[in-house]
């Protein structure tokens, strides 16, 4: 672990791997995408169910679902006129659980952080 830390610390600021990790976290940087993931962790749902749960326009929900699917968080299947989505990787559940644990310890600091871009509704 010490060797890995030393190697990481010598990487240039714009290291491609660091940029890719940053993009990974951007997938979950949108509250709508986070809520979609949380809903889908409960089980497979179709687009209409997700639209109703979020009370958001279908086009907006579909765009976020496309992003999550493209990035490997979800997969979809068509059944008749409905498209169903589900979490494809069980590590997404672990990631969300860990995020909630960390938030429990740091929620006030994160809520007040001036470095972060405000999200919708703030």
pLDDT at position 14 is 78
Residue 40 falls within a domain, yes or no? Answer: yes
Residue 119 lies in a domain: no
CA separation, residue 114 to residues 47, 64, 84, 108 (Å): 35, 26, 38, 12
pLDDT in the model for residue 13: 72
pLDDT at 5: 53
For the whole model, what pTM was predicted? Answer: 0.81
Average pLDDT, 10 consecutive residues per value, the chain (122 residues): 54 82 92 97 97 97 97 96 96 95 90 76 49
Host domain of residue 35: 2-112
In a domain, 16, yes or no: yes
Q: Which phi-psi region, left, alpha or beta, contains residue 42 (left: φ > 0; alpha: ψ -120 to 50)?
A: alpha
What is the spatial distance between Cα 8 and Cα 2, in angstroms, rounded to a whole number?
10
pLDDT at 7: 55
- Domain with residue 32: its CATH number is 1.10.10.10
Domain count, the chain: 1
Answer for the pair 92, 75: CB distance below 8 angstroms, yes or no: no
């Amino acid at each position: 672990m010490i060797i890995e830390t030393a190697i990481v610390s010598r990487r240039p600021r714009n290291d491609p791997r660091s940029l890719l990790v940053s993009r990974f976290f951007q997938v979950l940087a949108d509250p709508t995408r986070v809520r979609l993931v949380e809903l889908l962790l409960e089980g497979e749902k179709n687009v209409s169910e997700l639209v109703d749960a979020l009370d958001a326009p279908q086009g907006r929900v579909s765009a976020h679902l496309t992003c999550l699917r493209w990035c490997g968080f979800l997969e979809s299947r068509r059944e008749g006129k409905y498209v169903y989505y589900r979490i494809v990787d069980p590590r997404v559940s672990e990631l969300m659980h860990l995020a909630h644990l960390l938030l429990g310890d740091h929620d006030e600091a994160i809520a007040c952080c001036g470095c972060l871009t405000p999200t919708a509704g703030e």
